[in-house]
Amino acid sequence: MIIAVDGPAASGKGTLASGLARHYDLPHLDTGLLYRAVGLAVEGREGAPDFEDAAIAAARALDAAQLTDLDRLTAAQTGVLASKVAVIAQVRAALYDFQRDFALRPGGAVLDGRDIGTRICPDADVKLFIQADSKARMERRARQLEARGVEVDRYALYHQIEERDARDMLNPHGGFYKADDAHLLDTTLLGIEAALRAAIEIVDRTMALKAGGPQPS
């Protein structure tokens, strides 16, 4: 079973994807980490004439070992860098195989990102598109960073997320939209447990429907 989870920054897709992976005993890939790792590899070179080439080379050379420094990878500024390398078509192409291979593991997988249901796994068994209003998303990200001891300027964070959302929405190579067959889940008013329960219900219902059996009530 392949589950695709997409949605904008801090919508809760990663938390939901890891909860689904635990529930169904599947491996989970946070694909944002790949773009973040490429962003970190070219940190400080923004505006340089070889920025694109450096990002493409970094994406082609990406190694799983670069996905472990979560403190640096998940920093808000790294997210902005990630969105800058994510608009380069060859970077996206270089990261495609890693994601696709992960998805095609025997037994299945859960992947979360922006283009899982549209580009990476258009054939996923279940697709979820997670939404939450931008103020709620900013507050969630702020608390997540504060819990790690990072001092947060909410005004700057809000603008950072807006800037990233805007770049993502305009990304011509993105596919950052809800797939026609994705289920929309708005988590603005849902806590983590309630959102996970809602997602499990959607997955079970969709799988039962596919199997042609009775739908769980």
Which C-beta is closer to ligand CDP: that of 24 or that of 136? 136
Q: What is the 3-state secondary structure (H, E, C) of the chain?
A: CEEEEECCCCCCHHHHHHHHHHHHCCCEEECHHHHHHHHHHCCCCCCCCCHHHHHHHHHHCCCHHHHCCHHHHCCHHHHHHHHHHCCCHHHHHHHHHHHHHHHCCCCCEEEEECCHHHHHCCCCCEEEEEECCHHHHHHHHHHHHHHCCCCCCHHHHHHHHHHHHHHHHHCCCCCCCCCCCCEEEECCCCCHHHHHHHHHHHHHHHHHHHHCCCCCC
User: Is 11 labelled a binding residue?
Assistant: yes
Contacts with ligand CDP, residue ranges (CB under 6 A): 7, 9-15, 31-32, 35-36, 79, 82-83, 86, 113-115, 140-141, 144, 164, 168, 187, 190-192, 195
Min. distance of Cβ 40 from ligand CDP in angstroms?
Answer: 11
Min. distance of Cβ 91 from ligand CDP in angstroms?
Answer: 9
Min. distance of Cβ 213 from ligand CDP in angstroms?
Answer: 30
User: Is 10 labelled a binding residue?
Assistant: yes
User: Is 12 labelled a binding residue?
Assistant: yes
Which C-beta is closer to ligand CDP: that of 62 or that of 213? 62
- Binding-site residue numbers for ATP are 7-15
